[in-house]
Structure 1
Amino acid sequence: VGIGTTSPGALLDIGLAGATLGTMRLEGNISGYVQLQSAAAAGSWTMTLPTAVGGAGQQLTDVAGNGITSWAAAGSSRQLKDVVGTVTDPTEALAQILSTPIYRFHYKPGMGTGDSQTEYVGVMANESPWAMHYNGAVVNPVNTLGYMVLGIQATNKKLSDLTSTVKELDLKLEGLAERIAALEALGNSSTLIESLGEYAVDFFSAGVESVVDGIVYMKGMVVQKLTVGSREKPTGITLYDETTGEPNCFSIVNGTTKTTLGECAIGELLSPEGGSGGGNSGAGDLTYSPQDTQAPIITLDGDILVSLDVGSSYVEAGAIATDDVDTEVAVVISGSIDPTTPGTYLISYNAKDTAGNSATPVVRTVVLKNSGDSSTTPTPEPTVEPTPEPEATVEPTVEPTPEPEATTPAPEATDSTSSPQATT
């Protein structure tokens, strides 16, 4: 039967291509209507209904996308699904969500919907496969909801971790604030320093028992990797005998374990010829020699003899201690001066390197005298060390005549500002 056409192509054919638009309208009982019509340039589409009526919780679904529909479960309850596993790490889903670009767009006329004016916000199918089905062409609401939940879970975990960290910081800040308040209440600077020291002790007492001469004594330590010494400065491990309590050095020499009585010392890897063994010689025995036996050398800044009037201020010039291994060593200065009392004062300078080698002490002499006193004080004996220099000047002599000449400048030694090494 044809309506609007004299050559129907189906049992009921409405309209004629190029002349009449095929339209079917179902009028409402009171008002309104439902109208079905094809587009002016419509494609061919066939819709085949299923052979049976669907039950509760089912809907018409075009699974293959070819116009043939069937009834399928519309619910999302567990009994309708075969669970193959659970997602244990939601951060992966969050990473995919965060890496997916979001666009504002309009549908092109005649593509997808008849509305080309509404602005949409969403993703592109080829850029978000995690949210698609039907060969990546149609948004999958189930996956979209699942990834949304995973993203929220991952975000919640990050917030929980951040909250825990903030709470720990708050506790530390509260403890610090209490200590600062207590220190401010003390007021006295010396007491403040003592309290800060006590705070430092409390801070390290959880793991450190004591620190003596740069050595840290700990209650326990667990490490994934432990390196003792280096190729340039090999050493061993000091172990104490369970019976005698004596220290023993456990080390490796030429691939063989070696135990010697006494504590381990830092050594230097030497070749058989005595030079430093920077590479693998492949022959001979490598030996270890002690690394540091040289004491530091102290050099004073300023004069070794200082003469001041009573009431003058003494300004400490300081000293420098150099060491062949530690390079520069701290100098310990001892001694005091009473600027109101005339007399001779000694300022001592001492130093010790990390190997325990003590430097030869150096003494600076400070003489305080009344302003009208013209007397001078000779240079103290312990600080005079230039004896090799006069010997070096005597060696070229052929006759004993130069020796009296060497004694003639003796009066110059009475000058407190001159150095003994000027006797030539």
Structure 2
Amino acid sequence: MSNLLESILRVGMTVFIVGPLTAWVARRGARERSEATDSLDCFLVRMPAAIRTIIACCAVAFELLMLGVYVWQGVSLGEWDHELVWFGHAMALAGMAIWALLSIPRIDVDGGRILSRNAFGIRKETTFGNITRATLHTQMMRIDLFEGDRKFCSISLEGVCSLNLLARLEEEGIEVSDAVDGPMTKAGLCWSAIKPLTIVFNGMALVFSLVLAFMAVFTDEGARLLVLIPFLFLLIGVALPLVMLSMPARGILEIGRQERELGFSFSEEIASRGATGTSLVDDDWFIEISNARVVAFRRDYLKKITAHENSESGDRCTVTTRGGRKIKVYAAGSTLEDLRTWFKQGAKANCAAKISAAVDAAILGHDMAMQCRGFRAGEGLIQDTVEETIASMGYVGRVGMKDTDVEILNIMIGKTVVDC
């Protein structure tokens, strides 16, 4: 009977609470996006109302849930456990603190004026004429605006009308640069990939620690709860980020494998290009950070890239190296599509060079024919007729170039070292 009751409760929770709440969040988000203005002169950048409402509701729900358990336990069992009420208070306060951190920050643009409010409610005002630059924290989804060398404000790009702000900055001619302006290194890429998760985990540890501290002050547990706080930070703030470090570390190890097979130094090659930050896309390199993973490949290391597909572990594609090894690359679908497009564009450029050489040879042959000049049969691959000449060239390409192709590939993958 208890199993039947539990099943009924689960179905009821899904049908009457989880389902309607999910549908409401989706409708609320869609309506807020549709109501967002496209104007670049007057708009408001802030966290979406659906997220703010959910967090506030969760805070109230914690309070009501603990209060309900407290009353039920007291009435049914005669045990009035006041610690449950204090725990509900603590969780509600923590939830409302998170709500405030997400709800209070905003940027209001009205013509040339910028009105800013930070998480502590402090208001500032300036104009676009005073904004000298902006820095974009790609992984943190945050942008900072500067007046000279002084930071004016910071706002999350996950809010509504964030694209309006970026477009307005571009319209005003204000440069938006990568917040990570130091030289690109393997350690820097790894840290940039794991930094958002580290901040989230430490934020969780801080919230739970504040709850324990609140309980320690207002309940009889006292020092026993305070002893748990260091272990919370060690477990959530340190151990979990170290476990998640395996995600970007795989990309860093792949860079090391490319260094060994192609015979180059990543730090020296990147330094010679003057690359900074966490992103580099040029004729030879594709380096991006996506979903806490480092995607970094040199063009001459790759042979084939498949179209990205969905899997239980996320979007992925398969990369085949020149040596025939297949690698599963996990990242956001857009990043994987950019990687494949970058690789195919390089192939198109190579084909274009071959076509250009062939057309140049055809024009040269035409000029020679118009001047009654040419090669005689027996010179090189030239035969008595055009058909026989084409057949001889095809034979050389089909049979004679096999060993040459092998040697070229060996040089490309670094298997053969050519002495100068």
Please identify which structure carries the higher helix content.
2
Return the index of the structure with the highest Cα Rg.
Answer: 1
TM-score (norm 2): 0.23
TM-score (norm 1): 0.23
Kindly indicate whether structure 1 or structure 2 has the higher relative contact order, using CA contacts under 8 Å at least 6 residues apart.
Answer: 2
